[in-house]
């Protein structure tokens, strides 16, 4: 794991977008794994700004999102389908059939999970996965205790995760209790991973990640074993983290 320490959220977003744009421009085919939530919003703004300025094309890019809430319709303003359209897809030249997000309204959730996993495999796997991190170390919606061998599956969201995400909903009761998420193994098989973290709320998670112990009780810890993971985090998130020789 390498760390790139940046000043603040803005710089984190710019660095991550720059990294992604280099890949997008230098490849003829690219499978991008995408995240939602507060962390990547700035990255998507940078990608949109670049598109307006340079018309960087996404016609050769396929996207696979990490997760979706169960029970929210695509057009629900809190669905991740809606989030991705609003924050990225509708602003760039990607056709919606190149974009993939688990369907939270498929009543056969098991079939949905299997189909999603197969879509990733059939596309040749993920080249570059963008990740945020939960305060409890979750990646995707893989909460502490999830098997490192897990593939796309249904999860019960931790109370702390529902509380953290309640800021996007009118009321805590409106936050769905379940989601579909790529599994930890699905994420781990990405050829490259960019994990982003900004602000005080991520300090403990960063300290735990860089302590280096690999344990299912802290899902992101598996990234310590991933050959090509870069963490881009700001000064505030990295306060209290002892930088190793791997820092760049
Ligand atoms: C989002 C996702 C989650 C978030 C994490 C951090 O698709 O899978 O793991 O990355 O909950 O959320 P924010 O960025 O809102 O702090």
192 an active-site residue?
no
Residues at CB less than 6 angstroms from ligand 1:
35-39, 66-67, 132-134, 138-141
Q: Packing angle between helix 80-87 and helix 41-54, nearest 10 degrees?
A: 40
156 an active-site residue?
no
Q: Packing angle between helix 9-26 and helix 41-54, nearest 10 degrees?
A: 50
Compute, in angstroms, the gap from residue 55 CA to the centroid of ligand 1: 28
pLDDT tens per residue across span 81-99 = 999 999 999 999 999 999 9
Report whether pLDDT(248) > 50.
no
- Where does 27-106 have alpha helices with state H? 41-54, 80-87
* Mean pLDDT over each residue of the chain, to the nearest integer: 96
143 an active-site residue?
yes
> How many Cα neighbours within 13 Å face the side chain of 190?
30
DSSP-assigned letters across all residues of 124-193: T--SEEEE---TT--BTTB-TT--TT--SEEEEPPHHHHHHHGGGSSSGGGS-SEEEE--HHHHHTSSEE
Q: Write down the pTM of the prediction.
A: 0.96
For residue 246, what pLDDT is reported?
A: 52
82 an active-site residue?
no
* Phi and psi angles of residue 53, each rounded to the nearest 5 degrees, phi first: -85, -45
pLDDT tens per residue across span 176-231 = 999 999 999 999 999 999 999 999 999 999 999 999 999 999 999 999 999 999 99
Report whether pLDDT(174) > 90.
yes
Confidence of residue 240 (pLDDT cuts 50, 70, 90): confident
Domain spans of the chain, in order of start: 2-243
Cβ neighbours for 188, distance < 8 A, ≥ 6 positions apart = 148, 222, 223, 225, 226
Compute, in angstroms, the gap from residue 58 CA to the centroid of ligand 1: 24
Per residue in 100-126, is it b (16+ CB within 10 Å) or e — as a string?
bbbbbbbeebeebbeebbeebeeeeeb
Report whether pLDDT(242) > 80.
no
**Which of these is catalytic: 46, 50, 67, 208?**
67
Compute, in angstroms, the gap from residue 181 CA to the centroid of ligand 1: 11
> What average pLDDT score do residues 106-118 get?
97
Compute, in angstroms, the gap from residue 67 CA to the centroid of ligand 1: 10
> What average pLDDT score do residues 166-183 get?
96
Q: Whose CA is nearest to atom 10 of ligand 1?
A: 132
pLDDT tens per residue across span 35-61 = 999 999 999 999 999 999 999 999 999
Report whether pLDDT(154) > 80.
yes
Contact between 219 and 146 (Cβ < 8 Å): yes
Both tokens assigned to 43: 């990255």
Domain 2-243 has CATH 1.10.150.120: no
Return d(Cα 129, Cα 108) in angstroms, integer: 26
For residue 237, what pLDDT is reported?
A: 98
- Order across the sheet with 178-181: list the strands: 67-69, 178-181, 153-156
Residues of the chain with pLDDT > 90, as a percent, come to 96
Report whether pLDDT(243) > 80.
no
């Amino acid at each position: 794991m390498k760390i790139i320490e940046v000043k603040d959220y803005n710089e984190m977003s710019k660095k991550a977008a720059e990294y992604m744009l280099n890949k997008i421009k230098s490849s003829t085919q690219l499978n991008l794994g995408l995240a939602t939530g507060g962390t990547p919003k700035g990255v998507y703004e940078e990608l949109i700004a670049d598109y307006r300025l340079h018309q960087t094309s996404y016609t050769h890019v396929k996207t696979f999102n990490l997760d979706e809430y169960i029970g929210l319709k695509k057009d629900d303003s809190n669905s991740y389908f809606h989030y991705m359209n609003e924050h990225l897809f509708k602003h760039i030249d990607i056709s919606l059939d190149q974009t993939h997000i688990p369907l939270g309204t498929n009543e056969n959730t098991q079939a949905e999970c299997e189909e999603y996993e197969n879509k990733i495999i059939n596309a040749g796997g993920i080249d570059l996965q963008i990740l945020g991190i939960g305060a409890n170390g979750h990646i995707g919606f893989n909460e502490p205790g999830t098997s490192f061998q897990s593939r796309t599956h249904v999860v019960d969201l931790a109370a702390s995760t529902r509380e953290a995400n309640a800021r996007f909903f009118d009321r805590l009761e409106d936050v769905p209790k379940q989601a579909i998420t790529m599994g930890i193994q699905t994420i781990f098989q990405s050829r490259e991973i960019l994990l982003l973290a900004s602000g005080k709320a991520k300090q403990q998670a960063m300290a735990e990640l860089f302590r280096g112990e690999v344990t299912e009780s802290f899902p992101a810890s598996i990234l310590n074993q991933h050959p090509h993971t870069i963490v881009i985090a700001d000064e505030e998130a990295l306060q209290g983290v002892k930088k190793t020789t791997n820092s760049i």
